[in-house]
Amino acid sequence: MQFSKNLCLLLASATSIGAAAVAGPARRPYYEPHGVPVLSNKPYPNTTIAGITVIDTPIVRLAREFTRNHSTEAVYKHQVRSWLFGSVLIAANETLRNSVDIEVHAVAAILHDLGWDTTPNSPVTTLDHRFEVDGAIASRKFLEQYADSNWDARRTQLVWDAIALHTTRTIGYYKELEVQLTSMGIAVDYDGPGAVVTNETFHQITAEYPNFDLKQATNDTFIFICATKPAQTYDNQLQPWGERYVANYSTKGNLRIDHIFDHL
């Protein structure tokens, strides 16, 4: 692939006339990483957010900017917290430190709710895909636009899978560790502290990114999705509410999702 691309550039420059042809194509470094995972068992580019050491690379920064552009404040904070909680889970476990690609995890966690964008004519959502698939497709487009050569097809696919399956834990928890950890970090944000994410760590993170608006934001988003594309709720945890919405469309506004948190 890379070779034939270079060959094309070479042929193109050989047959064209002018300054560009004389200069030739820009030299590429001899070695460009391609599909190399970023592991946290050795030093990696990092920053500290809410007391948690996390990966800090251009694509992770862009993911935060991109998701901020397409999320409400509440949903943005949820995605950042999910990333931080997942990072805590990874850091606490040697197997995970040795094997989870923390850049894949970061991008997936930070972008996982792009499908929750409720702005009219949003470029990241559709009426014909369930929200998880909207998010997965938008994330792939994001990576195609912004990622460097180390983002090969496999790493990109892992982000796609992690986002598409983040609510389907009966499948996601049997997939690659990056897929599992994306989902597990999100679960901590809904379920609260546990054995690994202690009370102290949980509160340290929610002090910086308060979660008081999470339930309301989730409720509002699910109601919006049920109202705008009920047929795309049928094979996920929104199904009971989507069905009710269709059956009782005229009673718009009566939808209650009080028990939805049992299913997340």
Ligand X SMILES: *[C@@H]1O[C@H](CO)[C@@H](O)[C@H](O)[C@H]1NC(C)=O
214-228 and 73-91 are packed helices; what angle lies between their axes, rounded to 10 degrees? Answer: 120
Residue 209 engages ligand X in binding (rule: CB under 6 A): no
Residue 76 engages ligand X in binding (rule: CB under 6 A): no
Q: Which stretch binds ligand X (CB under 6 A): 75-83, 93-101, 125-133, 164-172?
A: 93-101
Residue 250 engages ligand X in binding (rule: CB under 6 A): no
Options 65, 73, 148, 235; binder of ligand X; rule CB under 6 A: 65
**Residue with smaller CB distance to ligand X, 216 or 228:** 216
Residue 44 engages ligand X in binding (rule: CB under 6 A): yes
Residue 231 engages ligand X in binding (rule: CB under 6 A): no
Residue (of 210, 179, 204) closest to 52 by Cα position: 204
Residue 119 engages ligand X in binding (rule: CB under 6 A): no
Residue 219 engages ligand X in binding (rule: CB under 6 A): yes
- Find where tokens 């920064």 sit: 61
Residue 203 engages ligand X in binding (rule: CB under 6 A): no
User: CB burial class (10 A; 0-12, 13-18, 19+) of residue 168?
Assistant: middle
Residue 118 engages ligand X in binding (rule: CB under 6 A): no
List C-alpha distances in Å: 255 to 121, 167, 248.
24, 21, 9
Options 97, 129, 175, 215; binder of ligand X; rule CB under 6 A: 215
Options 49, 74, 84, 96; binder of ligand X; rule CB under 6 A: 96
Residue (of 111, 3, 11) closest to 63 by Cα position: 111
Residue 2 engages ligand X in binding (rule: CB under 6 A): no
Q: Which stretch binds ligand X (CB under 6 A): 4-12, 71-79, 91-99, 160-168?
A: 91-99
Give the distance from CA 108 to its chain's centroid. Answer: 3
Q: Which residues bind ligand X (CB under 6 A)?
A: 43-44, 46, 53, 62, 65-66, 69, 93, 95-96, 193, 199, 215-216, 219, 243-244, 247-248, 256-258
